Structure formats: C-alpha cells, structure tokens
A and B are shown apart, each in its own frame.
Chain A
Amino acid sequence: MTSAVGTRPRHAAPPPTRAARRQRSYRLGRWDLKYSPYLYVAPFFILFGVFGLFPVLYTVYVSLFDYELLSGTKEFVGLENYRVLLQDSQFWNAAYNTVGIFVLSTVPQLIAALILANLLNRQMRARTLLRMGVVIPNITSVAAVGIIFALIFADRYGLVNWLLGTVGIDPIAWRDNRYASWFAIAVMVDWRWTGYNALIYLGAMQAIPKDLYESASLDGASAWRQFWQITVPLIRPTILFTVIISTIGGFQIFTEPLMYGFGLIRGGADHEFQTLAMYIYEQTFTGNAEYGYGSAMSWLLFMMIISFALINFALVRRSVRGEQK
C-alpha cells in the first residue's frame, strides 16, 4: 500500500487544470506516509505519558520539597527528604519487612507454581477444569481475601490457633511475632498468586516439543531429570518473566498486610509487618500528610524494585543456565 501511494503520481500525466489539486494531494500523501504512523502509535504514548511518565517525574519533583498536603506548605529543600529518609529507622524497618515478606512468599510460590504446572501438563481427566480452577483464587477480591485471612489468623478466635489448640500447641501471637506475621501474609499472597504463575508456566511448557521428552525417555532419563534438564531450562525466559513480575508486585505489597492488621496502617503494634507501601501511605496521607517525604520514599522504592529485579534476573539466569550444562 505504501509503495503504491508513493509511486502513483509519477505514472500519471496530470492535465494542466488539475495540476494544483494533484500537487496538493501529492503533498497530503507524503504527509500521510510520513506522519500517520506516529499518529497510529500516539494513543499509547499519550496515555503512557499522562499516566506513566508524568507521575514518575512529578514524584521526583515533589520529593525535593517540604510539601504538606493539608496545610499546603511547599518549600524547596533539595535532597533533605532523602537525607532524613536514610536515617529513618521506621523506613528501614519497613524495607526489612517488605524484603522478608517478599522472599517468604515468592520463593515457595514460584517453586510450587512450577511443580503445579508440571502436574497440570499431563494427560488427565477434567484437565481444562483443573487448569481453570487454579486461577480462581486470583480473581477473588484482594480485600476480601485479606479480611478472611485476618480472621483465620486471628489471635484469639482464629481458625489456625484453634486447630493448633486441638493438637495441643499453644496459640501463636500472629501479629506480635514478626515472623509469624510474615508467614501469615506470605500464605495469603501465595494463595492468590501460585495458580496464576502456574498457568503462565503451563503455557510455556506446552510450547516444548514432545520429541525431546521422547528421546530423553529412550535414553532412560527419569521424570525428575526430564523436568530439571529439559522443562526448566527451556522455559527459562518465562521463569525470568515471573520472577521480575513477582518482584515488582512483592515490593509493592499493601492491601494484604493492611487488612491483616485490621486496617491499621501502622502494621502491628511495633510495625512488625508494616511494608514500604504502607509506610509511604502513612507518611503521605495521614498525620501531617508529608507529600514530599512520601514522594522521596516512593522514588527510593522505585529504585529498590529496579535493582532487586536486576539482581533476581541475574541470579535466576545464572542458576538455570548452570542446570543446562
């Protein structure tokens, strides 16, 4: 189509009266060729600019101010917010909690998803039903999940403590004990996301040619060996993808710990499970509504996510390649 538009005027010998019109349409055609591709892709870039790029840059700008939302004071302070932030023990506590909950939830989650996907990748009855079934937790409202799990892990009248009681184990202080609270929140996250990742892995596994497995079987490789030496290396790009997506999601965890603490932004009496996103919210929208400080924190979180995603990327790539040898 494009070439036809471009060459057309040369073939036709325009009658003199229509020359001007011809000339104009030729110019329009050229513009069409030159600019319309940009117009076609413009919607994405406009939306991305408005809702993606601008907020990020504006956050950087705001983070240089002592900006209080309610009173409206706005004073340029340079990097002061960042300086205070690096010495803020509550920030580091929140970072520690976030990384802890992330590791505790993501590692078992991805391993479980791999195993689950491998199981679903077999011939079995009601296959589609089971495959669809594993993503059901993911379409449940996260707030509802949070409320239910907060009740399951309630200290006094919770299901888990009751079950533990029936086998003679003392009730666990699910919110006062830092690691118990991390565990409970990780369970909540895994419940929602394992099936989702399993489905992504399953999709990748189905693209692996069957003859690889056949020849491996002929060579006498066990199912376990086939899994580690054929399946895992061949779906490596997918694993990298899920690792990065989980890193981004895991570092922004907010609703689960918030609902777990009965809606209190503090995240436990001594901030046992206050995550970075919660602390950002606490600083930005409660109390003095320190908009600038919150923005500085958001920006730092952004940097942390990028660096963690890169570290994870490198780690996973190396370890999976090691298997391939």
Chain B
Amino acid sequence: MSVIRRRLRTVAVAALATGVALGSAACSKSDDDEGGEGGQIKLVIQTFQNFGYDQAIKDFEAAHPNIKVEHQKMGELRDFQPKLVQWLAAGSGAGDVVGLEEGVLLQYVQNHDKFVNLLDLGAGELKSNFPEWKWNNALTPDGKKLIALGTDVGGLAMCYRKDLFEQAGLPTDREEVSNRIKTWEDYIELGRQFKASGKVKAAWLDSGTSLMQPYVMQNSEVFFFDKDNKFIGDTNPVVRKAWDMGLQMAAEGLTAKAQRWSADWDAAFKNSAFATIPCPAWMTEGVIAQRSGPANAGKWDIATIPGGGGNWGGSYLAIPAQSKHPKEAYELAKFLTSKEGHLAAFKEAGAMPSSIPGLEDPEFKNKTSDYFSGAPTGKIFGDSVKNMKPVFLGAKHQQVWETIVEPQMQAAERGQLSSEEAWKKAMDEAKKATS
C-alpha cells in the first residue's frame, strides 16, 4: 500500500469522524424558520380543537404578502397543553402564536416570562375592543404585562333535539322551550316529563357532568379556587350543589352516562342517544354539528340556557418569547382578534367573538345557523353574555376539572362509586394535586 493511499485513508477516517460529529450536530438545528424566497417570513400558529381560522389566515396572508402562515392544529386541548409546556421550557418548538384556553391561562400569566409583553408591541390601543374581564384575565397582577389577546367567549345556550322533543310530546319551538326551562329545576322537571312520556329511547342529557360548569359559572364568582389561588372546591357550596344535581339526574335515569370527549360520547351524538346538552358557542358548529354528522342536520335547535346567561370556556392568543418574529406574530394575533378575525372564526366554528365591535356587528347579530334549524345563534349567544359576571378560575382549573373532578363524577354517574365516595376521592386528589 502506497504512502499516498495510506494518507488518504487517514484523511478519510478523520473526515468520517467529523462527518458523524457534524451530522449529529446538524440534527439539532431546526430547518423550519428564516424561510423562503424574497425575504418571506414564515409564522407558525398553533391552536387546539377548532378555532375556525382557515379563512381568516388566508385573508391575513393576502393582506401581508411577505408573511406565510402555517396553521398547526394540535388536536384537543389536553393533547396540546403538555406539548406547549415542554416547548416553552425547552426554549424551542412553540409556534409564533399559540392558543391558550381560559382554564389554563392563569398558569401562564404566573409564568409570564415565557411570553412576549403585548403592551410593548402596542396592544394598549386595543383595550377598548374587549370586555374588561376578558382583557384583565391575561394581565399580570401589577398590570404591566399583557400576555394574550382574547379570541372567543363561551356564551351559553341549551342545544336540544327538536325531533326527539316532538316524539315525546314536548314543545319544539325555541321560544317556548326557552320559557319552559327558565331555571335548572324547570329543566330537570321537563326532563322527567320527557322520560315519562315513554316514547323515546334517548336520554334527556348526555352526562350529569355537563351541567356542572354552566351551573357553577352562573352561580358563583369562584370555582375550585379562591382569588388567592387556594383550593376551595371542597367548601364551595355551589360546586357541591351542581355535583348533587348532576348525579341526581343520573340516578333518575335522565342522563346517557356518556363520558364526555370519549368515542362513546362521539357515537352518542350520531346515534341520537340524548336530547339536550348545554352548549357554549364554540361547541355548536365545532363539536355538536361535527359529531352528529350531516344525517342529523336540521334536527338540532338552540334555546336559552336555564338560569339565564353565563360563560363556559373561551380562549386567547399569546406570543411565546422564543418567537423569532414577535412583531409579525403580533400583527397576526392582532388581526385574528380584530373584528374581522372574530367574525371569520364565528362563521367557521361558531366561536363567539369576545371583541365588542365584533359582538355589535350585524354580521354576528343576525347570524343564523342552518345546521341548528336556522336558530339565530348571534342573538341567543349575544344575549347570554350581556349581563355576564366574570368567574375566577385559578391557574389549575382545567387540570382539576378535566383530570380529577370530572372523571370521578363520571365514575359515580356510572355507579362505580357512590356519590359520597367519589366526592371525597376527587377532593382529596385535587387538594393533593394543588398543594
């Protein structure tokens, strides 16, 4: 073997080694940003469930030819939430604009250093566009930093199956139904009539857990946490009242006992297994219509919620501090939370505007839904938030509700545990998780 060949081999080995080292280093370098030709900027927006932004994003891109927006739909909130926490902690991976739900928002307000201060980007001028509580929720206690802008609010109504009501001999007209269910007691009473008719196989309500959120949000200023973020779920009488009411309905056979957000629940919509469900605005087109499918179009209708008004859910858009294009991201968030963005999302997903100009726009006010038998959704949901008082949820509301209290209540509903056992377990676990 010649010297040259030997030397070549040594070089080759060295090259191989550096190649491997570089190769593994290259893996960690992201190749997604600084995109494209002609100085185009790419923004990533990450949302959960259905924000209804397909059209709004197209409009934004048309108005900003130098910005390309990639919309990553991340599934349910529970799938997105842990990922976002990881990305925020790791300092990369999160989009330039991310959707936050009100049940988790406060947790991020507490850790606001992970987000851009929107007031620095000029968000102050937008304040008058939003209801005060919606604005303040995303503000740090000292009022100096705003981490997110409001998207929708969850104005409440009662969705019901006209066809099943008719079979059971109940009124079907939405005005009349609204009058018959002015209070929750009326609502349960009507359910008993519905069942007593003996003419329908369907249950009255999807699950006893469904009325928990609306009822508590209507009747209490706090939910599981007091305003100092201390767990009070076990002593809040309204929470216990709602728990008992839901399980009482289950015991009387008025509920379909479907576990919410499960495959059985999805199938229950299609199979017409229940006649009513309290529905926040975001649930109408985005959840009920999707799951019930075209076969049930025109069978649903919407009446006002018992107890008059209230809010359930609703989201925000924030800009993680790791974003490389905070200015452009702010433009996008501003557009999506403007009147136009809100109205586009309302049209697409039924997500109700939180923006005051959006709420007053005739396009919202006069909106009707074909799927829901032409119900005037704009008017019904608009009225439901008029006299709404904000409810303080606390940083870990979503966790306590979705991963602890709701599953235990469902277990009690299915008869796996007694109400008392399930309550005790839920409260013990919640205390442990929040201590």
Asked if B6 and A32 sit within 8 Å, CB to CB, the answer is yes
Is B271 among interface residues, defined by CB-CB distance under 8 A?
Answer: yes
- The distance from the CB of A174 to the nearest CB of chain B, in whole angstroms, is 10
Asked if A265 and B407 sit within 8 Å, CB to CB, the answer is no
With A50-B24, A269-B416: A28-B81 Cβ-Cβ less than 8 Å = no
Asked if B407 and A42 sit within 8 Å, CB to CB, the answer is no
- The chain B residue with its CB closest to the CB of A155 is B264
Is A223 among interface residues, defined by CB-CB distance under 8 A?
Answer: no
Query: What are the residues of chain A within 8 A of B261 when measuring CB–CB?
Result: 262, 264
Is B34 among interface residues, defined by CB-CB distance under 8 A?
Answer: no
Asked if B411 and A270 sit within 8 Å, CB to CB, the answer is yes
Is A4 among interface residues, defined by CB-CB distance under 8 A?
Answer: yes
Binding-face segment, A68-76, A108-116, A181-189, A309-317: A68-76
Binding-face segment, B15-23, B41-49, B335-343: B15-23
Asked if B403 and A70 sit within 8 Å, CB to CB, the answer is no
Q: Which parts of B215-273 form the interface with A (CB within 8 Å)?
A: 258-259, 261-264, 267-268, 271, 273
Cα-based distance from A1 to B6 in the complex (angstroms): 11
- The distance from the CB of B163 to the nearest CB of chain A, in whole angstroms, is 20
Binding-face segment, B82-90, B173-181, B351-359, B385-393: B82-90
Cα-based distance from A46 to B13 in the complex (angstroms): 15
Query: What are the residues of chain B within 8 A of A158 when measuring CB–CB?
Result: 264
Cα-based distance from A269 to B414 in the complex (angstroms): 10
With A5-B6, A266-B403, A286-B81: A176-B414 Cβ-Cβ less than 8 Å = yes
- The distance from the CB of A80 to the nearest CB of chain B, in whole angstroms, is 15
Q: Which parts of B405-423 form the interface with A (CB within 8 Å)?
A: 407-408, 410-411, 414, 416-417
Contact of A289 among B89, B258, B414, B417 (CB under 8 A): B89
Contact of A286 among B114, B267, B403 (CB under 8 A): B403
Is A40 among interface residues, defined by CB-CB distance under 8 A?
Answer: yes
Query: What are the residues of chain A within 8 A of B7 when measuring CB–CB?
Result: 25, 28
Query: What are the residues of chain B within 8 A of A25 when measuring CB–CB?
Result: 3, 6-7
The interface bits of chain B over 16-58 (1 if a CB of A lies within 8 angstroms of the residue's CB, else 0) are: 1100110010000000000000000000000000000000000
Contact of B89 among A5, A72, A157, A176 (CB under 8 A): A72
Is A232 among interface residues, defined by CB-CB distance under 8 A?
Answer: no
With A157-B267, A263-B76, A269-B408: A289-B85 Cβ-Cβ less than 8 Å = yes
Asked if B21 and A29 sit within 8 Å, CB to CB, the answer is no
Asked if A262 and B263 sit within 8 Å, CB to CB, the answer is yes
Is A82 among interface residues, defined by CB-CB distance under 8 A?
Answer: no
Query: What are the residues of chain B within 8 A of A50 when measuring CB–CB?
Result: 24
With A25-B6, A46-B20: A266-B85 Cβ-Cβ less than 8 Å = no
Contact of A173 among B110, B262, B414, B433 (CB under 8 A): B414
The interface bits of chain A over 232-266 (1 if a CB of B lies within 8 angstroms of the residue's CB, else 0) are: 00000000000000000000000000000011111
Is B182 among interface residues, defined by CB-CB distance under 8 A?
Answer: no
Cα-based distance from A268 to B6 in the complex (angstroms): 65
Cα-based distance from A250 to B83 in the complex (angstroms): 25
Asked if A176 and B9 sit within 8 Å, CB to CB, the answer is no
Cα-based distance from A151 to B267 in the complex (angstroms): 10
With A287-B396, A289-B89: A265-B425 Cβ-Cβ less than 8 Å = no
Asked if A36 and B10 sit within 8 Å, CB to CB, the answer is yes
The interface bits of chain B over 379-403 (1 if a CB of A lies within 8 angstroms of the residue's CB, else 0) are: 0000000000000000010010001
Asked if A43 and B20 sit within 8 Å, CB to CB, the answer is yes
Contact of B271 among A39, A151, A157, A287 (CB under 8 A): A157
Query: What are the residues of chain B within 8 A of A5 when measuring CB–CB?
Result: 1, 6
Q: Which parts of B259-297 form the interface with A (CB within 8 Å)?
A: 259, 261-264, 267-268, 271, 273
List 7 A–B pairs whose Cβ atoms lie within 8 Å, in order of A's numbering. A1-B1, A4-B1, A28-B7, A147-B263, A263-B79, A264-B261, A291-B89
Contacts A25-B3, A39-B16, A286-B399 known; 12 new A-B pairs at CB < 8 A: A40-B13, A50-B24, A72-B111, A154-B262, A176-B416, A264-B261, A269-B410, A270-B407, A270-B411, A285-B83, A286-B82, A286-B85
Nearest 7 A/B pairs, CB to CB: A269-B411, A285-B82, A262-B262, A69-B89, A157-B267, A269-B407, A176-B416
Contact surface of A with B, Cβ cutoff 8 Å: 1, 4-5, 25, 28-29, 31-32, 36, 39-40, 42-43, 46-47, 50, 69-72, 147, 150-151, 154-158, 173, 176, 262-266, 268-270, 281-282, 285-287, 289, 291
